[in-house]
Amino acid sequence: MSKGKVYLVGAGPGDYGLITLKGIDCIAKADIIIYDRLVNRDLLKSAKPGCAFVYVGKKSSKHIMAQEQINDTIAESAASGKIVVRLKGGDPFVFGRGGEEAELIYDQGIDFEIVPGVTSSIGGLAYAGIPVTHRDFASSFHVVTGHAKKDDSLDINWESLAKEKGTVVFLMGIGNIKHIAEMLISHGRAPETPVAFVSNATSYKQRTVRTNLGDAYECVHREAIKPPSLFVVGGVVSLSDKLGFYERKPLFGKTIILTRTRKKNSDLRKKIEELGGKTFELSTIDIKDKKDIGRVLIEKLTSRKYTHIALTSHNSVDIFFKNLIKEGFDFRKLAGVKIASVGKATSKAIMVYGLVPDIETSRSTGADLADVILEDIGNAGYENPSILFPCSEIASKSIEDAMKSARVDLDRVDLYTNTVNMAIKDELLDILVKEKIDYITFTSSSTVKYLVEILGRDRELIRGIKKVSIGSITSQTIRDLGFSVDMESDSASIDSMLAAILEDVKGDINDKKTETIKSE
Ligand code: SAH
């Protein structure tokens, strides 16, 4: 078999968006990805189905995959013709033994490429508002390892480093901070020199702490600064007050679970992340189109004349239109049929297919939609009103009941099955146990029911998390299941949910401010 290829790829310092386009391409074509502890796991979601993942960086050293073992895995996989991506935090050649790995690959005659990445030593500082050079402060920079070799010595020319006027950035320096600070001072750097620690740079856990060189060691203990952290020495750190854009974002540091159905929440995810929040997207629902549903729909639409089509969810809209398109349906055949939508979000989904709803309810319940359709029927004076209602198999009967009592013909077609996605249970529990989650958003009653069902005996884990509901029906389901609703969005839309969260965060910040004023 032909020999494969190895890509040594820099994943960037943490923020998902800080990998290169080439890096993402490599991930997408990899057969096997060998990744480190500091790599953002979300990047792995771009891999193709069937790609194998090998994690080589657990902190407790017992589990660490020995460097030789890593090298063997890379060589063996490449030799069997596979595309291997060795994904490393930051830039692959800035510490972390990237150079050694590349040499070994070369020595074994394996084809390889290096894909550079944004190194934490520059990019991480940028997110803390610290420019690594600046005409007023530093015209050079040095990136230094603070990690001692086996004999405990740091192979550093302290003499020249202490005299250096440029910025000095230490990686892996927290464990040795006492020694580093002492050496810089004893070789002539002033104890008053400004310094900063930037921990978990470019992630939602980023934290910037400033002090001076003389206080650096004390500061690490006082502030409980832990790796991964950058230690920066030099006047540039004073700019972080002005330039620290990232930690100023309105949702910075907030963690939000999005219970989603299909891709539906991705808009919300993008918006939250733009505002600095961290999202965990979990599909609580497994949705499958019913067999032959396209043909069933075509048969119905061609064999009889409907006056209205009622659509009550984003998923119904997508599954309805996509299946018709797949069957080659000519949408001009719908001319004259009124489209009724249950709210702004559903209308938006409909308009993606080039159709504008004739009727829209402002409140997002089936009963409301039934009311407006009946009103329209009354106004328009149809002789034989007839409604097509394509929906989820678990959609409520409220529209059907309302039409029955008004003696209006309604044809319900279940488009898809809607089952609880137990496959996410481990991931969900892991997140709830390891992370401090601030909010959970619920965009429908089923997302609530299913989340609680998935949690089972562990349902109390979500008790203390603020619950954000998209509307009154969803809120009622949350209450019925024994939880309280902390926020309900004004209208049934993603933007409105986001506004509710922002409002709440603002309130929290103001609360904190009043507390400080009181205690002062
Ligand atoms: N190749 C990486 C560095 C690997 S060495 C790069 O180019 O960034 C690992 C050290 O890098 C950590 O101990 C820490 O000092 C630093 N580091 C990496 N990512 C970091 C981050 N997101 N925040 C703070 N420090 C980070």
Distance from C-alpha of 495 to C-alpha of 468, rounded to nearest angstrom:
12
Residue of 133, 136, 104 lying closest to 8 (CA atoms): 104
Looking at residue 84, its pLDDT comes to: 97
Query: DSSP string covering 400-414, please?
Result: HHHHHHTT-EEEEEE
Residue closest via CA to ligand 1's atom 16 equals 171
Residues 299 and 413 in one domain: yes
**Residue 227 alpha carbon, nearest atom of ligand 1:** 13
- Asked whether 94 lines ligand 1 (CB < 6 A), one says yes
Last residue of a domain, one of 91, 117, 143: 117
Ligand 1 in contact with 90 (CB < 6 A)? yes
How far apart CA 218 and CA 401 sit, in angstroms, is 70
User: What is the CA(50)–ligand 1 centre distance, in A?
Assistant: 30
Atom of ligand 1 nearest to the CA of 13: 22
Q: Does the beta carbon of 171 sit less than 6 angstroms from any atom of ligand 1? A: yes
pLDDT in tens, the chain (520 residues): 457 999 999 999 999 999 999 999 999 999 999 999 999 999 999 999 999 999 987 554 555 577 788 888 898 999 899 999 999 999 999 998 899 999 999 999 999 999 999 999 999 999 999 999 999 999 999 999 998 765 557 788 999 999 989 999 999 999 999 999 999 999 999 999 999 999 999 999 999 999 999 999 999 999 999 999 999 999 999 999 999 999 999 999 999 999 876 655 578 889 999 999 999 999 888 889 999 999 999 999 998 899 999 999 888 999 999 999 999 999 999 999 999 999 888 999 999 999 999 999 877 678 889 999 999 999 988 889 999 999 999 888 899 999 999 999 999 999 999 888 998 999 999 999 999 999 999 988 889 999 999 999 999 999 999 999 999 999 999 999 999 999 999 887 888 999 999 999 988 777 766 665 555 5
Tell me the CA–centroid distance for residue 123 and ligand 1, in Å. 10
Q: Which of 8, 38, 226 to mutate to test the pocket of ligand 1 (most atoms within 8 A of CB)?
A: 38
Atom of ligand 1 at shortest range from CA of 117: 7
Q: Considering the domain boundaries, does residue 349 fall inside one?
A: yes
Decide whether any atom of ligand 1 lies within 6 Å of the 201 Cβ: yes
Pairing, β 409-420 against β 278-289:
antiparallel
| Ligand 1 centroid from CA 144, angstroms | 11
Q: Which residues are known catalytic residues?
A: 36, 58, 172
- Cα 286 from chain centroid? 20
Closest ligand 1 atom to 231 CA: 15
520 located within any domain: no
* Among 93, 171, 226, residue to substitute to test ligand 1 (most atoms within 8 Å of Cβ): 171
Is the C-beta atom of 89 inside 6 A of ligand 1? Answer: yes
Q: What is the pLDDT of residues 59-73, one digit of tens each?
A: 545 555 777 888 888
Domain of residue 186 covers: 122-247
Residues 143 and 87 in one domain: no
Which atom of ligand 1 lies closest to the CA of 206? 23
Do 104 and 153 lie in one domain? The reply is: no
C-alpha triplet 164, 168, 173: angle, nearest 5°: 130
Cα 392 to Cα 339: distance, rounded to the nearest angstrom: 17
- Confirm whether 57 is domain-assigned: yes
* Cβ neighbours, 10 Å, residue 495: 15
145 and 240 inside one domain = yes
Helices (H) and strands (E) in the chain, counts: 18, 20
Residue 90 Cα to ligand 1 midpoint, Å, equals 7
Domain annotation covers residue 43? yes
Residue 449, domain CATH: 3.40.50.10090
Distance CA 236, CA 166 (A): 9
299 and 402 in one domain? yes
What's the CA-to-centroid distance between 518 and ligand 1, angstroms? 40
Residue 105 lies in a domain: yes
Q: So what's the pLDDT on residue 515?
A: 61
CA of 436 to the centre of ligand 1 (A): 23
Expressed in angstroms and rounded, the spacing between residue 150 Cα and the centre of ligand 1 is: 20
CA neighbours within 13 Å on the CB side: how many for 359? 24
Number of domains in the chain: 4
Tokens representing residue 185 in the block: 């001072």
Mark whether 406 and 490 lie in a shared domain.
no
Q: Is 13 in the pocket of ligand 1 (CB under 6 A)?
A: yes
Whether 193 is in a domain gets the answer: yes
Crossing angle for the helix pair 445-455 and 425-434, to the nearest 10 degrees: 80
- Whether 320 and 347 share a structural domain: yes
Does residue 222 sit in the same domain as residue 128? yes
Q: Is 119 in the pocket of ligand 1 (CB under 6 A)?
A: yes
143-188 per-position pLDDT tens digit? 999 987 655 577 889 999 999 899 999 999 999 999 999 999 999 9
Written as one letter, the residue type at 130 is I
**Closest residue by Cα to residue 91 from 184, 10, 171, 147:** 10
Is residue 417 within 8 A of residue 391, CB to CB? The reply is no
Q: Is the CB of 198 under 6 A from ligand 1?
A: yes
**Coil, helix or strand for 393?**
coil
516 vs 514: CA distance, rounded Å = 5
In this structure, the answer to whether residues 503 and 433 fall within a common structural domain is: yes
- With the most atoms of ligand 1 within 8 angstroms of its CB, the residue from 120, 172, 197 to mutate is 120
Angle at 173 between CA 172 and CA 179, to 5 degrees: 150
- 0.85 exceeded by pTM: no
138 and 230 share one domain: yes
- For residue 366 and ligand 1, the question of a CB distance below 6 A is answered with no
Residue 126 Cβ contacting ligand 1 at under 6 Å: no
- From ligand 1's centre to the CA of 119, what distance in Å? 7
Q: What is the CATH number of the domain that holds 13?
A: 3.40.1010.10
